[in-house]
């Protein structure tokens, strides 16, 4: 959970037509649409779930509610990710959980299909032969498709053999009860890509096996509790302590893991596109959960291997709800070891953001494979998807019925399985493909589909620069620019975890050089204090200063997408590369906001921040950005450090905190501490005036 606030001017308002609303949800899946009168008063809001029920909602909070109580509200209402803020019935903005943003999965799949159609131009032209094809799409998409195969804009009166709808995904089109038969790009492309991939695999003696997993609609004999959970969010189910205990059973390690991460389980499993397909951002939680080089750790791998078995799919494969050793691939690895197959290595390519068959196929294409390797694709295939598999003679293992007599084996859907279900699935898969597993193989040279066929599906380390996340962030920045009249504008990026006198000193120093300063607050909150608290502590010090604008760094600036080493310090001692983070700022952000100066606090100890500063002085001048490295503030002969403040906070040494922080930080830390003792009351009296704090003004 990472709660932020955004002003009403950035919110969607008064979209009356349902089709237009559905198009909005495709690219803003979690957002509300507000109905606002000319005088600013509001009549409620609707979102995707509300549209399914034709229900307008009026849940809101007053603008006077403290940020601490806002955070508590979200915790008491798991699954709700947008909260309107009103003042005398006038909408002023909303609090939102920044973990939930962007396009719906269905739209992302169609975007990916559109991005790779040129790679299959010959196959698509063959498919389009002697077909009259009508396209429902915006001009840019229509022109792109015309370059690939013959097609025409859709006209209702004309008769077409095939109608391709690129404006509404099939899942949303059903909500409008449209009778017109049409297909999506991904539905056309899927059998073509499957055939192309299978042809390549077989030419290298590699076998692809499909595993059809359980679907919501195929779960019989459920308890009332399980039926209820199918209509709840994962966050809501995780807050049901009793059910989670029943779900975990004797698996105490996964229970501890889920209890620890009940508010941020989806946050752990985050993805980034590597230019070919989505992959996991590296993460480590001790022995519980580890993502290394974009993949979930498979335990018990042999030290030496001459063949590999690759698992692909979504949550069920990755093992979102269990510890590393209890995922399906880890259990499968132990089955191989127990049966003497000690030179076969299992690899977990599973992601955790829903079924995405196009991404799975692209991941298979990018995987280096060798003779004798196996690819196991576990997802819930529909009838059309199964048809393409059967036409290519791909073996399908059906797991849909094996959990019929089991209860409490999933959380909110059958992809979020417990260790017992994973073991049943792994054993059934092994039973069906034991012969393929027993085939001996000699280690040889490995190659990928992408490399051998020369398809333009190559890795792009700078993919974030042209990503949807970047486009969304640029739109956000455009609504938060200085109005004008600033002859010199600077920028500074800070975590402020929490805000100290050192942060205030750096900002005040910058204001002696520039007329306007953008302070970008790192949005990621891996440890310490939440974004909402960190922003409040900073903003309070400059709330009456029009020269300063505080802006969230979003998902792209000093984030795990652009600078993962900043958040994984244990892994950063040998390789620290802030260059992508610098590119984000210099190429995308600075030109938009007219930033010509960038300020950094000097760093005498931390290797990651040191590397950030050194490379900045080399990189930014190439883009016309002047770099200032400012000597850090000292107190009692020691550099002021947010890390020291966090340590003092844990030790409840509030009097020492008061010497290192501005008044806003000190007061917020007292509120967060929930301590009520005479010492705190005395401290509050002693430091109730801001001028009693260490001055950091220039």
pLDDT of residue 569: 43
Q: Predicted confidence band at 558 (pLDDT cuts at 50, 70, 90)?
A: low
- Distance, in Å, from the CA atom of 452 to the CA atom of 455, rounded to the nearest integer, reads 8
Burial environment of residue 353 by CB neighbours within 10 A (0 to 12, 13 to 18, 19 or more): middle
- Determine which helix (DSSP H) or strand (DSSP E) holds 71, and give its type and residue range: helix 67-76
* C-alpha distances out from residue 282 to 159, 290, 348, 605, Å: 51, 7, 14, 24
CATH topology of domain 465-692: Rossmann fold (3.40.50)
- Distance, in Å, from the CA atom of 349 to the CA atom of 291, rounded to the nearest integer, reads 10
Mean pLDDT value of segment 546-550: 89
Average pLDDT, the chain: 83
Mean pLDDT value of segment 352-381: 90
- In 512-662, which residue ranges form alpha helices assigned H by DSSP? 531-539, 579-583, 590-593, 607-619, 642-650, 654-658
Confirm if 96 and 81 have CB atoms less than 8 A apart: yes
pLDDT at 570 over 70: no
pLDDT at 492 over 50: yes
Q: Predicted confidence band at 453 (pLDDT cuts at 50, 70, 90)?
A: low
- Distance, in Å, from the CA atom of 324 to the CA atom of 350, rounded to the nearest integer, reads 12
Q: Which class is domain 3-97?
A: alpha beta
Asked if the domains at 3-97 and 465-692 fall in one CATH topology, the answer is no
**Residue of 676 and 640 predicted with greater confidence:** 640
Give tens-digit pLDDT for 255-287. 999 998 887 787 788 777 777 788 887 788 888
pLDDT of residue 444: 65
Pairing of strands 396-398, 374-379: unpaired
Mean pLDDT value of segment 431-443: 76
pLDDT at 459 over 60: no
pLDDT at 509 over 80: yes
Q: Predicted confidence band at 394 (pLDDT cuts at 50, 70, 90)?
A: very high
Classify the phi-psi angles of 79: left when phi > 0, otherwise alpha if psi is within -120 to 50, otherwise beta.
Answer: left
Cis amide bond preceding 498, omega within 30:
yes
197-201, 319-323, 604-608, 624-628, range with the lowest pLDDT: 604-608
Scanning the structure block, which residue is given the tokens 């007329």?
515
Estimate to the nearest angstrom the gap between the alpha carbon of 400 and the chain centroid: 29
Give tens-digit pLDDT for 158-174. 888 888 888 888 888 88
pLDDT of residue 678: 46
Give tens-digit pLDDT for 601-614. 887 766 667 777 77
Q: Predicted confidence band at 689 (pLDDT cuts at 50, 70, 90)?
A: very low
Contacts with 209 (C-beta within 8 Å, 6 or more apart), sequence order: 374, 375, 376, 377, 394, 395, 397, 433, 436
- Distance, in Å, from the CA atom of 422 to the CA atom of 415, rounded to the nearest integer, reads 10
pTM for the whole thing? 0.77
Q: Predicted confidence band at 577 (pLDDT cuts at 50, 70, 90)?
A: low
Highest mean pLDDT range out of 55-69, 518-532, 601-615? Answer: 55-69
Of 571, 587, 582, 567, which is closest to residue 613 (Cα–Cα)? 582
> What percent of the chain is modeled with pLDDT above 90?
23
pLDDT at 73 over 80: yes
Domain edges within the chain: 3-97, 105-183, 193-453, 465-692
pLDDT of residue 572: 40
Confirm if 114 and 105 have CB atoms less than 8 A apart: no
- Distance, in Å, from the CA atom of 273 to the CA atom of 185, rounded to the nearest integer, reads 20
* Cβ neighbours, 10 Å, residue 628: 17
pLDDT at 375 over 90: yes
pLDDT at 574 over 70: no
* C-alpha distances out from residue 439 to 16, 303, 345, Å: 61, 19, 14
pLDDT of residue 568: 47
């Amino acid at each position: 959970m990472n709660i932020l606030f955004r002003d009403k001017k950035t919110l969607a308002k008064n979209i009356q037509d349902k089709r237009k609303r559905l198009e909005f949800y495709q690219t803003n899946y979690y957002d509300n649409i507000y109905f606002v009168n000319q005088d600013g008063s509001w009549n409620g809001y609707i979102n995707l779930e509300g549209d399914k029920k034709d229900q307008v909602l009026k849940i809101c909070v007053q603008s006077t509610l403290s940020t601490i109580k806002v955070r508590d509200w979200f915790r008491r209402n798991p699954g709700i990710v947008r909260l309107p803020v009103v003042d005398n019935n006038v909408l002023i903005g909303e609090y939102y959980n920044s973990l939930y943003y962007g396009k719906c999965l269905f739209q992302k799949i169609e975007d990916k299909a559109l991005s790779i159609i040129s790679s299959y131009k010959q196959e698509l032209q063959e498919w389009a032969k002697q077909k009259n094809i009508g396209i429902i799409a915006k001009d840019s998409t229509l022109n792109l498709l015309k370059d690939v195969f013959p097609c025409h804009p859709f006209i209702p009166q004309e008769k077409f053999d095939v109608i391709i709808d690129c404006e509404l995904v099939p899942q949303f089109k059903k909500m409008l009860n449209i009778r017109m038969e049409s297909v999506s790009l991904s539905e056309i492309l899927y059998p073509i890509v499957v055939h192309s991939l299978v042809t390549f695999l077989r030419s290298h003696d590699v076998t692809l096996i499909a595993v059809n997993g359980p679907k919501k609609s195929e779960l019989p004999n459920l308890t009332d509790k399980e039926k209820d959970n199918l209509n709840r969010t994962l966050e809501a189910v995780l807050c049901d302590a009793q059910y989670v205990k029943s779900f975990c059973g004797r698996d105490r390690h996964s229970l501890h893991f889920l209890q620890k991460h009940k508010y941020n389980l989806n946050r752990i499993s985050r993805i980034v596109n590597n230019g070919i397909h989505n992959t996991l951002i590296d993460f480590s939680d001790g022995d519980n959960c580890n993502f290394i080089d974009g993949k979930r750790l498979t335990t018990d791998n042999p030290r030496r291997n001459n063949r590999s078995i690759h698992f692909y799919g979504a949550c069920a494969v990755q093992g979102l709800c269990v510890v590393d050793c209890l995922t399906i691939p880890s259990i499968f690895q132990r089955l191989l070891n127990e049966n003497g197959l000690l030179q076969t290595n299992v690899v977990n390519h599973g992601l955790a953001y829903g079924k995405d068959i196009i991404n799975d196929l692209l991941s298979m294409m990018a995987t280096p494979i060798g003779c004798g390797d196996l690819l196991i694709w576990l997802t819930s295939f529909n009838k059309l998807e199964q048809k393409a598999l059967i036409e290519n003679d791909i073996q399908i293992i059906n797991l849909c019925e094996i959990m019929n007599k089991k209860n409490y084996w999933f959380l909110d859907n059958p992809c979020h399985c417990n260790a017992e279900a994973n073991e049943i699935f792994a054993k059934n898969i092994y039973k069906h493909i034991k012969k393929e597993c027993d085939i001996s193989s000699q280690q040889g040279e490995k190659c990928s589909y992408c490399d051998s066929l020369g398809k333009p599906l190559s890795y792009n380390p700078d993919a974030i620069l042209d990503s949807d996340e970047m486009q969304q962030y640029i739109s956000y920045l455009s609504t938060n620019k200085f109005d004008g009249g600033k002859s010199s504008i600077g920028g500074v990026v800070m975590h402020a975890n929490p805000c100290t006198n050192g942060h205030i000193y750096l900002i005040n120093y910058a204001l002696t050089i520039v007329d306007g300063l953008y302070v970008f607050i790192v949005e990621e909150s891996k440890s310490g204090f939440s974004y909402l608290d960190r922003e409040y502590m900073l903003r309070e010090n400059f709330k009456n200063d029009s020269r300063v604008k505080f802006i969230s760094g979003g998902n792209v600036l000093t984030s795990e997408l652009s600078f993962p080493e900043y958040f994984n310090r244990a892994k950063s001692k040998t390789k620290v590369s802030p260059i992508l983070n610098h590119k984000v700022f210099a190429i995308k952000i600075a030109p938009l906001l007219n930033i010509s100066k960038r300020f950094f606090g000097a760093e005498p100890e931390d290797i990651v921040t040191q590397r950030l500063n050194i490379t900045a002085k080399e990189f930014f001048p190439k883009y016309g950005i002047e770099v200032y490295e400012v000597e850090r503030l000292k107190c009692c002969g020691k550099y002021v450090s947010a890390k020291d403040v966090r340590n003092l906070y844990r030790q409840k040494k509030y009097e020492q905190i008061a010497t290192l922080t501005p008044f806003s930080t000190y007061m917020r830390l007292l509120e967060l501490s929930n301590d009520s003792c005479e010492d705190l009351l005395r401290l509050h009296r002693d430091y109730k005036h801001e001028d009693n704090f260490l001055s950091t003004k220039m």
